[in-house]
């Protein structure tokens, strides 16, 4: 019997994971804190992780561990390099929530551009007036910029085009082959041009060393007055402190499902910024996506424990390593 340690979950219980694991003859343990995770590490044959960091310290202590399976797409909370050094397979669940994240992106755009929150707040306070602190925008003809044109970026572009936005994207692949651009894309541009043109800038890229603070003071300064920045990818893509004067001065607006730091401290300035809409990293969530996520992530871990390759391996180079702890067939 192997032991699967769950570092954290973003749903009520690990019932799906427990059922699958016990059906395969394995045990499940749930860490309650960073310190608890470290204490459980020596017992772990596999980790399932959502948002909690799985640093080198934990991996070094997990001398039985064969695999780390991420609940989700990005793996920036896992020290993948150290896992590779130790011969530990890292897997993820790509595209499980493409539709949900694309829907949430457009929901944020519509809420901001149509001033839904100020209007709702005014009505709840007893008012009945069309006045709002920001002008309501006509969507048709506005430029919607998509940074990152993977599955989610494509789904966002389709939705934005359906609302009448002119969609511009940054994509090296499409820049090399413009004829491959889908009908939803009006133009393929470089990053700086996108920032200058777009009324809405939406981020859909992974977080890594090259993309951390992809949007900083320089990039924010290039954006149009009144533009909206949407981030549903990773909080570290945006330099939060560089964003602060742009929001507090009223030049830009933001709609964020992810932040840096995350979760936001209770007194963080973003929580009360009138030019920002902030949701608590829920773009991925729906009844269907959470079931799919828990099932696929657990199945990835179970595959490695059974000596099989999971469908998605983040660090395939580990397969050729003499240090590989498990040799999937």
How much is the average pLDDT of 268-281? Answer: 96
**How many residues are recorded in the chain?**
329
Among residues 70, 159, 234, 253, which one is catalytic?
Answer: 234
pLDDT tens by residue, 12-53: 999 999 999 999 999 999 999 999 999 999 999 999 999 999
Which residue has better confidence, 177 or 88?
Answer: 88
Confirm whether 262 is a catalytic residue.
yes
What totals of helices (H) and strands (E) does the chain contain, helices first?
12, 12
How much is the average pLDDT of 249-258? Answer: 97
| 3-96+287-320 placed in CATH 3.30.70.141 | no
Span of 85-89, 112-116, 323-327 with lowest mean pLDDT: 323-327
| 98-278 placed in CATH 3.40.50.720 | yes
Which residue has better confidence, 5 or 325?
Answer: 5
> How do the domains of the chain map onto residue ranges?
3-96+287-320, 98-278
User: For residue 173, what pLDDT is reported?
Assistant: 87
Question: What's the whole-model pTM score?
Answer: 0.88
pLDDT band with cut points at 50, 70 and 90 for residue 326: confident
User: For residue 327, what pLDDT is reported?
Assistant: 67
Stretch (H or E) spanning 294: helix 287-305
- In this predicted structure, the answer to whether residue 329 has a pLDDT above a threshold of 60 is no
Among residues 57, 158, 262, 292, which one is catalytic?
Answer: 262
Is 98-278 in the same CATH topology as 3-96+287-320? Answer: yes
Q: State the sign of the Cα–Cα–Cα–Cα dihedral 224, 189, 95, 243.
A: negative
Among residues 26, 159, 204, 281, which one is catalytic?
Answer: 281
User: For residue 321, what pLDDT is reported?
Assistant: 86
Within 10 angstroms of residue 97's Cβ, the number of other Cβ atoms is: 24
Stretch (H or E) spanning 299: helix 287-305
Q: What is the distance between the alpha carbons of residues 30 and 47, in angstroms, rounded to a whole number?
A: 10
How much is the average pLDDT of 268-279? Answer: 96
Confirm whether 158 is a catalytic residue.
no
**CB within 8 A of 225, min separation 6: which ones?**
251, 252
Confirm whether 281 is a catalytic residue.
yes
Across the chain, mean pLDDT equals 95
How much is the average pLDDT of 210-233? Answer: 97
User: For residue 132, what pLDDT is reported?
Assistant: 66
Sequential DSSP letters for 48-114: EESSS-B-HHHHHH-TT--EEEESSS--TTB-HHHHHHTT-EEE--TTTTHHHHHHHHHHHHHHHHT
**CB within 8 A of 265, min separation 6: which ones?**
none
pLDDT tens by residue, 106-152: 999 999 999 999 888 888 989 887 776 667 889 999 999 999 999 99
The half-sphere exposure of 100 on its side-chain side, counting CA atoms within 13 A, is 18
């Amino acid at each position: 019997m192997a032991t699967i340690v769950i570092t954290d979950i973003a749903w009520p219980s690990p019932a799906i994971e427990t059922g699958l694991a016990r059906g395969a003859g394995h045990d499940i343990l749930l860490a309650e804190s960073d310190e608890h995770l470290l204490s459980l590490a020596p017992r772990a044959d596999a980790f399932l992780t959502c948002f909690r960091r799985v640093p080198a310290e934990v991996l070094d202590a997990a001398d039985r561990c064969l695999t780390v399976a991420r609940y989700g797409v990005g793996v920036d909370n896992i020290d993948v390099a150290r896992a590779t050094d130790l011969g530990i397979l890292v897997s993820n669940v790509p595209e499980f929530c493409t539709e949900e994240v694309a829907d949430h992106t457009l929901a944020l755009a519509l809420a901001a551009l149509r001033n839904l929150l100020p209007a709702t707040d005014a009505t709840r306070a007893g008012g009945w007036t069309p006045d709002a602190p920001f002008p309501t925008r006509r969507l048709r003809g506005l430029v919607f910029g998509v940074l990152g044109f993977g599955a989610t970026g494509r789904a966002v572009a389709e939705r934005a085009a359906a609302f009448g936005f002119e969609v511009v994207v940054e994509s090296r692949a499409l820049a090399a082959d413009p004829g491959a651009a889908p009908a939803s894309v009006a133009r393929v541009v470089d990053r700086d041009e996108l920032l200058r043109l777009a009324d809405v800038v939406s981020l859909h890229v992974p977080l890594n060393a090259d993309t951390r603070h992809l949007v900083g003071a320089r990039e924010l300064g290039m954006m149009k007055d009144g533009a909206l920045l949407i981030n549903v990818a990773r909080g570290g893509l945006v330099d939060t402190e560089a964003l602060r004067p742009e929001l507090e001065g009223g030049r830009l607006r933001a709609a964020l499902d992810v932040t840096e730091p995350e979760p936001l401290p209770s007194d963080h300035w973003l929580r009360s910024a009138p030019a920002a809409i902030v949701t608590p990293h829920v773009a991925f969530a729906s009844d269907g996506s959470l079931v799919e996520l828990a099932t696929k992530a657990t199945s990835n871990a179970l595959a490695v424990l059974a000596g099989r390759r999971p469908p998605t391996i983040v660090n395939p180079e580990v397969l050729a390593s003499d240090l590989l702890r498990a040799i999937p067939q």
